[in-house]
A and B are shown apart, each in its own frame.
Chain A
């Protein structure tokens, strides 16, 4: 995601328009990323906050089969199949080496699923692990490898197209892409979405918890043409204040973004109460926290390595929920249809969207919408090739000698976990300033100069914790944001002291 964002920043600075095929290849890569990443998030990074693996050992596989067959046509749903999964799990537990699953909160009263549903979820946890490494081969085909694709270029993509060459994207490669796209869609439609709805129906109280700041920002993504115009974005751009989804979102102006370091371990030349647009941004570390090892951080002072980005001085939530709300408010038809279906299924009103459960549901809705669109873009790429359009790169400004003496630009994308922006200033053929504002700094930001809390902190307020020693409720809300591992998360108790650093995933 950083790769596409960085080349877009430079393309914006140098006013480069990419060929249509490069646009489509980028869309296909990103769509595959969404589908894989969201499914991994649901099953492997978040599900175990809701699913009790130990309870799955007690399930009657016949009950699990009945449940699975009642919600989906997915073929792997026989009692024998689930018995096999359960036996494998039993054999694992009987070794006494619980590995990744040791020391979790199994048996916690907040776990609400019946054993049959827990077994179904465990089976799909394992299936999803095998599935994800297959469908992400879309990236290997178009990017050389996954992770860390290598074919992004300023001006296009380094993926040749040629129906008459075995060293380029040809009909055979298109067929492979189509096969993986179908595999991606089927799992989402037949496993992920039914599981999501089944699990959510047991946790409807979470539709009233974990809301947070109530402001949502999306840069939008998946351009439908090469104009660079925000109106071309298939997932729209916009800003929603105060949960107002009844009207179209406000147009986004990136110049309204400012970052504070008041409570961050950085300093600004003009003082730490000031805020800076990323083109003027500074990254000068200024650690003032306790000498490690330490137990607590003093949150009255600086307490985070994250800066605090704000839009019009207001904290913003980014991510699938923000994107789906902006799409909904913008009149995106398929998104509106699915949002209504999910709300009807769970028998909750639209206010349920602004919650921990709303975040989980929005991620699922988005995955399905994108999985449906994946094959459309592959077809469009094939259609271009059959018309003889093989262009993948605009090389007019490839050589630095063609650049202006000075240029500045910004690039945006919607990473699976939220809005990602890169800002670049170029002088004399060199970068003189480069700033990235990443999704987890929006969501995980510390307080700003006006002491406004960021989305994680705001979302935890009023969350009931049944057992402070085993705060699974905290994990449910924090994980619902899909925090970046590389970013700091601090949980502060009512005395204002950090009680733990949550391992986030």
Chain B
């Protein structure tokens, strides 16, 4: 193809990447999005011809963790995104201009492309005391986020903090921190991508989905894309077999830990966390927390600092093992046998009376660690 043609495929051609390789990438993207294979061609067409949509990336009460995640993008890479896929007009951490000139880049985009740019928001928005806890150039975060997001084509809240306030909003939430959905009530075209941080493989998938289909991917009732947040980790965990068989890590570094047994008794929150971590994994599929030997801390879950801690205390209320086993059509006899193994491992006694963690944030103050596991 003509190397001077616009779009991702053109630049890939310049870099000696063949059409076959390009289509394979599009196929991978379709797979990430859980789309049928026939969509590969459509993604390829969209990426080859898409105009460069402006993007502004706002940071408020954040640690730049989602920015760091963004820099690890692979398909396409951040270089591809910045130079060819989108027009990244504003991003405090990586943009060249500073101070008033940086703010000019933001204002130029909002004024010149009303309703035509993507807004990505990272970090929580403090609302207490007139919003003084986060100001940029003398303007409050709440003022900026409302102006920018209400004029955006699409808003993507990346990370736990931009979703529901995350860590700044953890009890006792001294700055009145909230996520975008509460800072900009009624905002249309809002996609929430929680996680600490969000997985950039999912962010690039959302962007490619939008460029391909001209609409956002299907979401759940909390605005999270179903392709990334539709399944409980526990159900797709490579260690699930060990859970079912009652093989648990009992101490860090014990034989079960070395052999990759289930981390449930070490506090793993996989049974109550919706995320595609086990399949997509992190850093170009290199690994994920459970793969490294540590339980999930539930960072994709609502208000996870309050609801999923203590991180090393086992979940009290795992969706009934028997229910899932029967759903998976495991024979009743086997269920009985494994349940017995379960009891023998002391797991059943751990299901002590406690409120469902997702309701815990309504309690006064965060739960306090009193039991570090066995």
Do A and B share a complex? yes
Residue positions of A touching B, CB distance < 8 A: 40, 44-45, 48, 53, 84, 87-88, 91-92, 95, 97, 99-105, 126, 129-130, 132-133, 136-137, 139-148, 150-151, 153, 155-156, 158-162, 165-168, 285, 287, 289, 291-295, 305, 390-393, 395, 398-400, 429-430, 470-471, 475, 485-486, 491, 500-505
Q: Report whether B282 and A168 are in contact in the complex, using a CB–CB cutoff of 8 Å.
A: no
Main secondary structure of the interface of A (DSSP, over half): loop
Chain A residues near B138 (CB-CB < 8 A): 292-295, 501
Q: Report whether B253 and A391 are in contact in the complex, using a CB–CB cutoff of 8 Å.
A: yes
Q: Given A99-B88, A151-B289, A485-B64: A167 and B96 within 8 A (CB)? A: no
Q: Report whether B282 and A144 are in contact in the complex, using a CB–CB cutoff of 8 Å.
A: yes
A-B Cβ contacts below 8 A, count: 241
Residue positions of B touching A, CB distance < 8 A: 4, 6, 11, 14-15, 52, 54, 59, 61-65, 68-69, 71-74, 77-79, 82-84, 86-89, 91-102, 104-105, 108, 129-133, 135-140, 143, 174-175, 196-197, 251-253, 257-260, 266, 282-284, 286-294, 297, 299, 368-374
Residue of B nearest to A128 (CB): B79
Q: Given A144-B289, A147-B65, A503-B95: A400 and B372 within 8 A (CB)? A: yes
Chain B residues near A390 (CB-CB < 8 A): 253, 258
Q: Report whether B140 and A100 are in contact in the complex, using a CB–CB cutoff of 8 Å.
A: no
Residue of A nearest to B62 (CB): A486
Chain B residues near A48 (CB-CB < 8 A): 96
Q: Report whether B253 and A293 are in contact in the complex, using a CB–CB cutoff of 8 Å.
A: no
Most buried by B among A84, A133, A139, A156: A133
Q: Report whether A91 and B289 are in contact in the complex, using a CB–CB cutoff of 8 Å.
A: no
Chain A residues near B96 (CB-CB < 8 A): 48, 53, 100-104
Chain B residues near A470 (CB-CB < 8 A): 101
In the complex, A159→B372 CA distance in Å? Answer: 18
Q: Report whether A102 and B105 are in contact in the complex, using a CB–CB cutoff of 8 Å.
A: yes
Q: Given A97-B87, A287-B129, A503-B95: A140 and B286 within 8 A (CB)? A: yes
Q: Report whether A145 and B288 are in contact in the complex, using a CB–CB cutoff of 8 Å.
A: yes
Pick 19 A–B contacts, CB within 8 A, sort by A.
A48-B96, A53-B96, A102-B105, A126-B79, A137-B286, A144-B288, A146-B68, A148-B197, A158-B257, A158-B266, A291-B130, A292-B135, A293-B140, A392-B253, A393-B253, A398-B373, A430-B368, A485-B92, A500-B99
Chain B residues near A133 (CB-CB < 8 A): 71-74, 77-78, 283-284
Q: Given A150-B289, A485-B64: A292 and B294 within 8 A (CB)? A: no
In the complex, A36→B100 CA distance in Å? Answer: 29
Q: Report whether A285 and B174 are in contact in the complex, using a CB–CB cutoff of 8 Å.
A: yes
In the complex, A359→B86 CA distance in Å? Answer: 34
Partner of A151, one of B11, B82, B293: B293
Min distance, Cβ B101 to any Cβ of chain A, angstroms: 4
In the complex, A40→B74 CA distance in Å? Answer: 17
Q: Given A92-B83, A289-B132: A141 and B292 within 8 A (CB)? A: yes
Chain B residues near A485 (CB-CB < 8 A): 59, 62, 64, 92-93
Chain A residues near B175 (CB-CB < 8 A): 285
In the complex, A103→B91 CA distance in Å? Answer: 13
Q: Given A103-B97, A500-B137, A505-B94: A147 and B197 within 8 A (CB)? A: yes
Chain A residues near B129 (CB-CB < 8 A): 285, 287
Chain A residues near B72 (CB-CB < 8 A): 133, 136, 146
Residue of B nearest to A47 (CB): B96
Chain A residues near B64 (CB-CB < 8 A): 485-486
Chain A residues near B14 (CB-CB < 8 A): 84, 87-88
In the complex, A193→B2 CA distance in Å? Answer: 38
Q: Report whether A130 and B77 are in contact in the complex, using a CB–CB cutoff of 8 Å.
A: yes
In the complex, A503→B137 CA distance in Å? Answer: 9
Q: Given A102-B97, A168-B293: A145 and B71 within 8 A (CB)? A: no
Q: Report whether B289 and A160 are in contact in the complex, using a CB–CB cutoff of 8 Å.
A: no
Partner of B143, one of A141, A287, A292, A486: A292
Chain A residues near B257 (CB-CB < 8 A): 158, 160, 168
Residue of A nearest to B257 (CB): A160
In the complex, A99→B55 CA distance in Å? Answer: 8
Q: Report whether A399 and B372 are in contact in the complex, using a CB–CB cutoff of 8 Å.
A: yes
Partner of B99, one of A84, A95, A502: A502
Chain B residues near A105 (CB-CB < 8 A): 97, 101
Chain A residues near B100 (CB-CB < 8 A): 500
Q: Report whether A150 and B292 are in contact in the complex, using a CB–CB cutoff of 8 Å.
A: yes
In the complex, A100→B86 CA distance in Å? Answer: 11
Partner of A502, one of B93, B98, B294: B98
In the complex, A133→B361 CA distance in Å? Answer: 36
Q: Report whether B97 and A292 are in contact in the complex, using a CB–CB cutoff of 8 Å.
A: no
Min distance, Cβ A94 to any Cβ of chain B, angstroms: 10
Q: Given A153-B252, A292-B131: A147 and B69 within 8 A (CB)? A: yes
Min distance, Cβ A494 to any Cβ of chain B, angstroms: 17
Chain B residues near A130 (CB-CB < 8 A): 77, 79
In the complex, A459→B108 CA distance in Å? Answer: 33
Min distance, Cβ A267 to any Cβ of chain B, angstroms: 14
Q: Report whether B139 and A151 are in contact in the complex, using a CB–CB cutoff of 8 Å.
A: no
Q: Report whether B97 and A139 are in contact in the complex, using a CB–CB cutoff of 8 Å.
A: no
5 new A-B contacts at CB < 8 Å, known A44-B94, A287-B132, A500-B100: A97-B89, A103-B102, A133-B73, A153-B294, A292-B143
Partner of B282, one of A146, A292, A393, A501: A146
Q: Given A146-B68, A485-B64: A167 and B258 within 8 A (CB)? A: yes
Min distance, Cβ A403 to any Cβ of chain B, angstroms: 10
Chain B residues near A146 (CB-CB < 8 A): 68, 72, 282-283
Q: Report whether A145 and B282 are in contact in the complex, using a CB–CB cutoff of 8 Å.
A: yes
In the complex, A129→B79 CA distance in Å? Answer: 7
Chain A residues near B84 (CB-CB < 8 A): 92
Chain A residues near B15 (CB-CB < 8 A): 84
Partner of B287, one of A44, A100, A141, A291: A141
Q: Report whether A140 and B282 are in contact in the complex, using a CB–CB cutoff of 8 Å.
A: yes
Min distance, Cβ A75 to any Cβ of chain B, angstroms: 16
Q: Report whether B82 and A166 are in contact in the complex, using a CB–CB cutoff of 8 Å.
A: no
Q: Report whether A144 and B99 are in contact in the complex, using a CB–CB cutoff of 8 Å.
A: no
In the complex, A166→B289 CA distance in Å? Answer: 15
Partner of B259, one of A45, A91, A165, A475: A165
Min distance, Cβ A230 to any Cβ of chain B, angstroms: 27
Chain A residues near B266 (CB-CB < 8 A): 158
Partner of A168, one of B105, B133, B260: B260
Residue of A nearest to B136 (CB): A501
Q: Report whether A475 and B98 are in contact in the complex, using a CB–CB cutoff of 8 Å.
A: yes
Chain A residues near B260 (CB-CB < 8 A): 160, 165-168
In the complex, A392→B108 CA distance in Å? Answer: 53
In the complex, A132→B108 CA distance in Å? Answer: 31
Partner of B293, one of A158, A395, A399: A158
Q: Report whether B98 and A400 are in contact in the complex, using a CB–CB cutoff of 8 Å.
A: no
In the complex, A148→B100 CA distance in Å? Answer: 32
Q: Report whether A145 and B283 are in contact in the complex, using a CB–CB cutoff of 8 Å.
A: yes
In the complex, A136→B284 CA distance in Å? Answer: 11
Chain A residues near B108 (CB-CB < 8 A): 102-103
Chain A residues near B371 (CB-CB < 8 A): 399-400
